[in-house]
Amino acid sequence: MSNTKVNHLFFCQIVNVRKHFFNTELKLSKFFFEITKIFPVCLIRNENFLFFFVKPGDYLTAKLYLRKLRYLLKNKKILIIREESTLIRLVFSFFEDVYIHNVMLIESPTVDIIDVLFLFKKDRAVAVGIDGGYIKAVNYIFRNYISFNYPFNKIESYPVELRCSLTTI
């Protein structure tokens, strides 16, 4: 992470994941519970992706059942995400299986961009997904489901967008 005080304060903001449970989400949550014996805190559907948010203490137990869940729902891309309370931990939980070298904040007049920096092309490719599908789904979640408890500027609240870049040492 960058060392400036503003970046530190920005990344340590407390976030909330908005929860919507419609009939389809309730059926999928019940299915998830029947397989893992863990009830998800939140479930977000976006195109082919299913994001199951679980408590951090239940994450490793739920991750053991990921292969079985993917086998039973072959037409969906299933991800298990830890529901974290701070922005930086939530960003890292979306990119669990890759090495993130650094995270930077890029401020612009209309949007705050979180630039996730990778050292290797392979890690960036995993984070972006096929045709950018995964990063688009993550940005959709940040735009529509993630809110800040105490935003810096209460008058103007800018959306947060994630971008994946390569860096060198």
Which tens digit of pLDDT belongs to each residue from 113-123?
A: 888 989 998 88
Mean pLDDT, range 137-164, rounded to an integer: 78
Region of 68 on the Ramachandran plot (φ > 0 left; ψ -120 to 50 alpha; else beta): alpha
Which tens digit of pLDDT belongs to each residue from 33-76?
A: 999 999 999 999 988 899 999 999 999 999 999 999 999 999 99
Please give the pLDDT value at position 64: 95
Please give the pLDDT value at position 1: 46
On the question of pLDDT at 109 being above 50, the answer is yes
On the question of pLDDT at 93 being above 70, the answer is yes
Q: How many domains does the chain have?
A: 1
Residues belonging to the chain: 169
Domain that holds residue 162: 5-166
How does residue 150 score in pLDDT terms, banded at 50, 70 and 90? low
Average pLDDT, the chain: 86
Please give the pLDDT value at position 157: 63
Q: What is the CATH number of the domain that holds 43?
A: 3.30.300.20
Please give the pLDDT value at position 13: 83
How does residue 18 score in pLDDT terms, banded at 50, 70 and 90? confident
On the question of pLDDT at 27 being above 80, the answer is yes
On the question of pLDDT at 101 being above 70, the answer is yes
